[in-house]
Amino acid sequence: MKTILQAKNVQKVFGTKGNLYKALQDIDLEIKEGEFIGIMGPSGAGKSTLLNILSTIDTPSSGEIMIANQNIVRMSEEQLSDFRRSKLGFIFQDYNLLDTLTVKENILLPLALSQVPANEIEKRVNEIAGTFGIREILDKYPYHISGGQKQRTAASRAIAANPSLILADEPTGALDSKSATSLLESLNALNEQKQSTIMMVTHDAYAASFCKRVLFIKDGRTYTEIHKIHQSRQEFFQKILDVLASLGGGH
């Protein structure tokens, strides 16, 4: 299996001399193609900082990061912009949908920007909408649909351009439990059937139990990681809760 992401000795320091705060220290991370990995840890552990750096929104103070065989640390702003559009898919807690566009138009936007032919766009949007169960709302606008439908639209948009890596930031944070389960089941199906590579930052043990592997961060460092090998989701959920209890602090 090929490596999609490799981060080595990633550090992130905020502040100035005499008043430095180390948000991330010596983080090593490898994500293989087809993995569904969760990142967890107490508040202030460095989860969001790590996500921002891996998603090219922020830069590390030091360290190397390779995504899809490209070194993102050494890219110019223009190169990063192209890289983001072609290689990364984003799912945010607050959806980030454009209210002036229909659900369908929101999903096809990345494809139109990449100048994909119209017939290919039509085919891809239909297929993705089927995966996320939103075909019946394609012509509606974001303000006419529920939070769960908005998040499934956002997830559909994230995978439209077949990114190498999908980055999800607390994707179930604003959803009720039924909508959250529906989204997580769709992401799980995407990972199982299409071998999509997903990294999800979450504070929710239930959401993390859908992952195949969970990495825990504490005080900016890797604390431990656990793998779901032959366990049921319920067993894995319990294992995650046990680690969170040993971590201490709010999560």
Report the phi/psi class of residue 188: left, alpha or beta, with left for phi > 0 and alpha for psi in -120 to 50. Answer: alpha
What is the distance of C-alpha 123 from the center of its chain? Answer: 24
What is the distance of C-alpha 206 from the center of its chain? Answer: 16
Instruction: Kindly state the percentage of the chain with pLDDT values over 90.
Output: 83
CA–CA distance, 10 with 105 (Å, rounded to integer): 37
Residue range 134-163, pLDDT digits in tens: 999 999 999 999 999 999 999 999 999 889
What pTM did the predictor assign? 0.91
CB 179 within 8 A of CB 151: yes
For 18-24, what is the mean pLDDT?
A: 91
CB 200 within 8 A of CB 190: no
* Closest-CA residue to 247 (of 229, 221, 228, 213): 221
Residue range 186-211, pLDDT digits in tens: 999 999 988 999 999 999 999 999 99
